Amino acid sequence: MLKRFLFLTILFCWGPVCGSAAADELLRVTFLDAGYADAILIESPGGRKILLDGGDVEKPDLVFEFLKGQAFDALDLVIISHPHKNHFGALFRVLEEVRIGEIVWNGGPQQEAPFEDLMNRIREKKIPVRVLKAGDRLNVGPLRFDVFHPGKTMEDNINANSLVLKLIYEDVALLFTTDITPGVQDSLIRKFGKKLAADLVQIPHHGGPLTQTFIEFFKPQFFALSTGPNEWMLPIERQVAALQAEVFRTDRHGRLIFESDGRKIWRTEDPQ
């Protein structure tokens, strides 16, 4: 009778639909519904926590309130893709309330206020900071981040210097394009080609502009888009509609959660 019970338990708990399917054995990536901004929490198998970008100054409590709701009081790593206030603005509250192991950023010379204030606060807290460049690699637990951009030469355009990172967990890859410009999109595809291929690709700059090369090159399982009301009329709907995979976007689907066991990736419904 016991053997039969165990068999039925295994049968009905096979795959990603089994409760939380040993949740701390999974990679979980959450795109917060942060409006026209980026804030992405990456949780590794084993519990490492990484925040990629920190939301907008106009929603200063959003990221902290999410972390508090998850009972997270520490982050192993914070990545700032570039110094635009809709990518770092909600980090001020996080700095005050959450322990941070290290901060990395793109080192861009052009910075939007109040970025210098943020860096001063980071120095006061004595949090280690370093700059990432193309060719660098980050290892966080079982996760690997390969850095594709920016290179040694920086542009005057803040967005053009945005970090491009590929997250690799066993056989699964996610590409974070943050806010790269059309010129950078084409340049990276020409230079790296299939090395950029991933199972999930972030749509750059909250929905465009996208180049035809970008639209034709990427064929992931999913696209993810963080966006909200803005004066630039983004996303560019005809370009997003032309992408060659299912698109999930925070302005329509709310918070986006993707999980992976290292062999496959799937989208998980937000429990809240």
Res. 19 pLDDT band, cuts 50 70 90: very low
**Beta carbons within 8 Å of 242's beta carbon, 6+ residues apart:** 215
The amino acid present at 157, given as its one-letter code, is N
Total-model pTM: 0.91
Task: Please check the confidence at residue 265 and state whether its pLDDT lies above 60.
Answer: yes
| pLDDT digits 0-9 by tens, 119-137 | 999 999 999 999 999 999 9
Give the CATH H-level superfamily of domain 21-261: Ribonuclease Z/Hydroxyacylglutathione hydrolase-like (3.60.15.10)
Q: What is the pLDDT of residue 22?
A: 61
The Cα–Cα gap between 131 and 108 comes to: 9
Inter-residue contact 247 to 240 (CB < 8 Å)? yes
Domain ranges within the chain, ordered by starting residue: 21-261
The Cα–Cα gap between 254 and 237 comes to: 18
Query: Over pLDDT 70: what percentage of the chain?
Result: 92
The amino acid present at 215, given as its one-letter code, is I
| pLDDT digits 0-9 by tens, 59-115 | 999 999 999 999 999 999 999 999 999 999 999 999 999 999 999 999 999 999 999
The amino acid present at 244, given as its one-letter code, is Q
Q: How far is CA 139 from CA 76, 128, 165, 203, in A?
A: 11, 16, 12, 24
Mean pLDDT (the chain, rounded): 92
Inter-residue contact 161 to 251 (CB < 8 Å)? no
